[in-house]
Chain A
Amino acid sequence: MTTMIDQTERDLLPFAGRLARLRDVTLADADMLDQWSRELEVGSFNDFGPREPIAREPLTRGPLRNDRNGMLIVERIADGAPVGTIGWRRVTVYGPSPTCDAWQIGIELIPSARGVGLGSERLVADYLFASTDLARVEASTDVANLAEQRSLEKAGYTREGVMRRAQFRAGAYHDLAYYSRLRGE
Chain B
Amino acid sequence: MTETDVVSLTSTARGRLPHTGRTVRLRDVTLADADMLDAWFDQREPGSFNDFGQPHRPTPRDALAARPLRDEQRGTLIVERLEDSAPIGTVSWHVRRYGPTSESQCFNFGIELLAWARGHGYGTEAQRLLADWLFLASDVNRVEASTDVDNLPEQRSLDKAGFVREGVQRGCQFRAGAYHDMITYSRVRSDR
Contacts and interface: CB of A to CB of B under 8 A. Distances in A.
B184 A163 contact: yes
A65 interface: no
Contacts, number: 93
10 contacts: A48-B101, A95-B175, A96-B52, A136-B171, A138-B169, A161-B184, A163-B166, A167-B98, A176-B98, A182-B171
Given A97-B174, A99-B174, A166 B98 contact: yes
A151 interface: no
A contact residues, range: 20 to 34
A164 B52 contact: no
Contacts of A167: 98-99, 101, 104
A74 interface: no
Interface in B168-192: 168-175, 179, 182, 184, 186, 188-190
Interface in A41-97: 48, 93-97
User: Which 9 pairs, one residue from A and one from B, show the smallest C-beta to C-beta distance?
Assistant: A161-B167, A168-B103, A99-B174, A166-B98, A167-B99, A94-B172, A165-B188, A95-B173, A160-B167
Tell me whether chain A's interface is mostly helix, strand or loop, or mixed.
strand
Contact of A48 (B100, B141, B184): B100
Nearest to B94: A93
Contacts of B174: 95, 97, 99-100, 135
A18 B108 CA distance: 40
A102 B188 CA distance: 25
Nearest to B183: A161
Contact of A94 (B99, B106, B141, B173): B173
Contacts of A173: 103, 141, 188
A168 B168 CA distance: 22
Given A94-B169, A94-B172, A160-B170, 5 more contacts: A100-B173, A140-B98, A163-B186, A164-B164, A167-B101
